[in-house]
Amino acid sequence: MSKSFQYYDNWRNEVVECPKCGWKGRVQDGTQRDFQELFDYCCPSCVGNVILAMVSYPTVQQIEQAAKDGNAEAIRGLPEIACSESRNQRFEREKLRSANQLPDLDGGNRFDVLLDTVEHSGDPDDESWNFIKVGDRVIWKELAFWEGYRRYPELSELLQRKYGSRFKQLKASYKAEEYLRGDINNLPFKIYPDDESMKFRTSSRAHR
């Protein structure tokens, strides 16, 4: 039986035993695997993944509580929470909400729309942006989020509403797809790659 821990439990030095091979050791000596909402530790001596312990990532409330209780790691995490919360709020204020916010485009031809992501350089004042382009023209720009894949169908729908049958498809640049997906392998919908990044994709993702 694997043990479950909350992030701020004292799990690192907890001793666990592998039910399969009998390995005994501290949780932190196991083999770590990361998932979206938790990470786990598997037996380091078994082939295959025999899970010994699972640890949930803390919620914002848990981080704030732990910081109040004097947990040094939680205290260090507080500025980042404040920052990401205000970034979420900013996104909600600034994002494309209505098809009416998109510009009218001349001509009757059908077109693809490109979603491209420009990642921040690491400068704290710098941001990651999603650019929505038709040809060379930027028709919208909004904050981009790592693993922000839910935004892709939302944007497609807004584009569809604005441009109707003239809108063919929202295609993602390599960077945009990487950013939308993050570490998530199976999305509930398909992301269409743009032509330019197709070659790069097939060569670099052949192992997937």
Report the interface residues with Zn ion, using CB under 5 A. 18, 20-21, 23, 43, 46, 50
Q: Whole-number minimum distance, CB 18 to Zn ion, in Å?
A: 3
Q: Coil, strand or helix: which one is 17?
A: strand
Q: Whole-number minimum distance, CB 20 to Zn ion, in Å?
A: 5
Looking at the Cβ atoms of 18 and 170, the one nearer to Zn ion is: 18
Q: Whole-number minimum distance, CB 17 to Zn ion, in Å?
A: 9
Looking at the Cβ atoms of 24 and 205, the one nearer to Zn ion is: 24
Looking at the Cβ atoms of 54 and 81, the one nearer to Zn ion is: 54
Looking at the Cβ atoms of 52 and 144, the one nearer to Zn ion is: 52
Tokens of 40: 């786990």
H-type alpha helices, 22-171: 60-68, 72-94, 151-163
H-type alpha helices, the chain: 60-68, 72-94, 151-163, 174-181, 195-204
Please give the Cα distance from 78 to 10 (Å, whole number).
Answer: 20
Q: Whole-number minimum distance, CB 23 to Zn ion, in Å?
A: 4
Q: Whole-number minimum distance, CB 150 to Zn ion, in Å?
A: 38
Contact 147, 180 (CB under 8 A): yes
Whole-number CA gyration radius for the chain: 22
Looking at the Cβ atoms of 43 and 170, the one nearer to Zn ion is: 43
Looking at the Cβ atoms of 23 and 39, the one nearer to Zn ion is: 23
Please give the Cα distance from 125 to 67 (Å, whole number).
Answer: 25
**38: part of which helix (H) or strand (E)?**
strand 38-42
Q: Which residues contact 47 (CB under 8 A, 6 or more apart)?
A: none
Residue with tokens 């479950």: 4
List, in sequence order, every residue forming a beta bridge with 134; answer none if it has no partner.
Answer: 137
Q: Whole-number minimum distance, CB 5 to Zn ion, in Å?
A: 19
